[in-house]
Structure 1
Amino acid sequence: MELRHLRYFVTVAEELNFSKAALRLHTAQPSLSQQIKDLEKRLGIQLFNRTKRKVELTTEGESFLPYAQSTLLQADLTIQKTQKVANELSNCLSISFGPVAELKIFPNILPSLRFDYPDLKLNLQSMNEIQQQKALESGQIDIGFVRENLTGPDLRSSLLFREKLIFLLPKTHPLCRYECIPIRELDHEALIIASPEHAPTLHRSVMHFSKQHNIKFNFIQHAGNILFNINSVNMGLGCAILPNYIEPMIKNHPNIAIRSLEVEPPLIDLFMSFNTKNNQKNIEIFINAIQNKKFQQHY
């Protein structure tokens, strides 16, 4: 038994006329009559009494009618709810991000995006660099803001900007006497460095900088996130080299100072990456919003 059989039965029961019911159902009367007979055979009961002058429900038919109507109503509601979910998914954009996007990208993009596309639902997920790459590759998210130029069969990336690294140290540190710290003064200084498991690009940049200039840092701690890095400096555990997006967070900080170095630390890139198999319409909307802002290439 199929839903169409129930729909045919309910329509005939409402009209009590096969010709009128056939018109409502946009089908031929002989075909409708055969469908009702097939339903009666399947159920093993007679649903209608038919004469040349009238059609009426049998007692069994009257009993069956409310259940058939309820089943059709439930089927219609199920279809509507499923279509609603599908429509919401088609209007959803999943975005992963790290702190830099939260501070430098979203405040410039999201307010106007919300205004221009009020039906677009944004699913924002905070992830570290490695988590973002895995989520992009699997299609779990549509867009990510990462430090690596991710490439692959389904991945595309574009450079948003290059960011300076800054040197942080406790205000009580002896090196605070310098406005510009000589490189050789950094030898054997305690340094909190980003964890390679959570921020591999930043970790590699700092390691390459120290190797390039033969700086013998004392790496005392791997930090799993930026806040731990900052708090470690705040507690006087050591110094740190971090992207300059954190500068507003520590401006006028009572315990942390920023100093320039005799040799400029390297720049670190920020890319916007997306999965080409995901919802391209919504991805394109977001990319256009990013491009319209024209972020500075160097921060």
Structure 2
Amino acid sequence: MDRFALECFVALAEELHFHRAAERCHISQPAMSQQIRRLEKELDVRLAHRNKRTVSLTRSGEVFLVEARKTLRQMDLAASLALRTDRGEIGQLTVGVTSPALYVIFPEVTALFRARLPNVGVVVREMTTAEQERALRVGDIDVGVVHPPLDDPTLASEEIGRSPFQLALPEGHPLTAHQEVALADLEGEQVVIFPRQIAPQLYDTVILLCRDAGFSLKIAMEAHPAQSIIALVASGVGLGFIASETQRLVRAGVVYRPIREPRPYLGIGVAYHRDSVPPAVGAFLDAAREAGRSLR
């Protein structure tokens, strides 16, 4: 049973006239009669009474009309859903996000993305940059919010913005008297920093900038996310590196100060398959680029 046969029957049932039904379906009257006879033969039931003057539906035809209309609507819906899925207008997008990016930019990216594609669900997985590279390779995620550059040259990545690091200081620490803190001021201080596996190149950059300032950074503890670093600062473990103003959580006993240049920056970017960018991924990339302008 094909769609056109159902359309012909519905047209006949609504027009109750073979000629008008044929015109509506853009076929000849004999072809319309043939479509109806073929459908009746396939169903092994008579759908309409007809003579030279009148056409009327049988009881079976009336029942079949209700279901034929439902079937045509369902076919239209199925075709529409398939097309919208192909265009990336509906479906699901699985996104990997580093823990710093969850606070620095991801809420803005998600808001922009959902405004453009409200029917696409977003599944978020907190992962390091290295974990996202592996997940992209095997298809576990569709796109990633990472800290570039990547180690895998087969994946595409681009930086969308940079956010300067700040320091979380225990209330009453001598450095709180400064409006800005230089890296050289950290000589001899115990610090709390994110683990290297979160962003290896960024971690190494912090260490090198401190060496360029004339000292070796004393790492008291590695921790993430930002709440953990701030809690450790509040407990007196050391001074904390946080990625941006958005991570400056209000907590008793902790104050924040910007770091004077030269200072480390948290680079945030997107990672994806360079040879395959489905529409939903493309929309996410556009949203990320737009949100990233606020970090520049």
Q: Same fold (TM over 0.5)?
A: yes
Q: For this pair of structures, how many residues does the alignment match?
A: 283
1:234 Cα offset (Å): 0.8
Deviation at 1:55, TM superposition (A): 2.8
Question: What is the 5 A alignment of 1:205-244?
Answer: 205-208=205-208, 215=216, 217=218, 219-243=219-243
CA 1:8–1:154 in 2, change beyond 3 Å: closer, same or farther?
A: farther
Structure 2 distance, partners of 1:259, 1:88, is: 41
The residue aligned with 2:269 is 272
Q: Which amino acid aligns with 1:51?
A: N
Percent same amino acid at aligned positions?
24
Aligned to 1:66: 66
- Mind listing any 5+ residue stretches in structure 2 that lack a counterpart? none
Instruction: Report the counterpart of residue 195 of structure 1 in structure 2.
Output: 195
| Contact 2:166/2:256 (8 A) holds in 1 | no
**1:24-173 alignment runs, 5 A limit:** 24-79=24-79, 89=89, 96=97, 99=100, 102-103=103-104, 119=116, 121=118, 127-130=126-129, 133=133, 138=139, 140-141=141-142, 144=145, 146-150=146-150, 152-158=153-159, 160-161=161-162, 163=164, 165-166=165-166, 168-171=168-171
Distance across 1 between alignment mates of 2:41 and 2:75: 23
Which amino acid in 1 is paired with 2:54?
K
1:126-148 CA-to-partner distances (Å, cap 9, x unmatched) read 8454255556664945573x322
Give the letter for the 2:265 counterpart.
I
**2:84/2:90 contact within 8 Å kept:** no
Partner of 1:249: 248
Aligned Cα root-mean-square deviation (Å): 4.8
Distance 1:203 1:13, change over 3 A: same
Q: CA deviation at 1:226?
A: 1.5
Does the 8 Å contact 1:206/1:241 carry over to 2? no
Maintained 8 Å contact 1:205/1:268: no
Shift of 1:91: 11
8 A Cα contact 2:103 2:247, kept in partner: no
Structure 1 equivalent of residue 23 of structure 2:
23
Alpha-carbon shift at residue 120 of structure 1 (Å): 5.5
Structure 2 distance, partners of 1:294, 1:181, is 25
Distance, in Å, in 2 between the alignment partners of 1:143 and 1:289 is 16
Superposed displacement of residue 35, structure 1? 1.7
AA in 1 matched with 2:269: M
Matched residue of 2:253: which SS? coil
Structure 1 residues 101-153: Cα deviation after superposition (integer angstroms, max 9, x where no partner): 8557977x999x79xx9655596958454255556664945573x32223644
> Structure 1: any 5+ residue segments left out of the alignment?
none
8 A contact 2:104–2:247 mirrored in 1: no
In the TM superposition, residue 247 of structure 1 has moved relative to its aligned partner by 8.7
In the aligned structure 1, how far is the partner of 2:91 from the partner of 2:69?
33
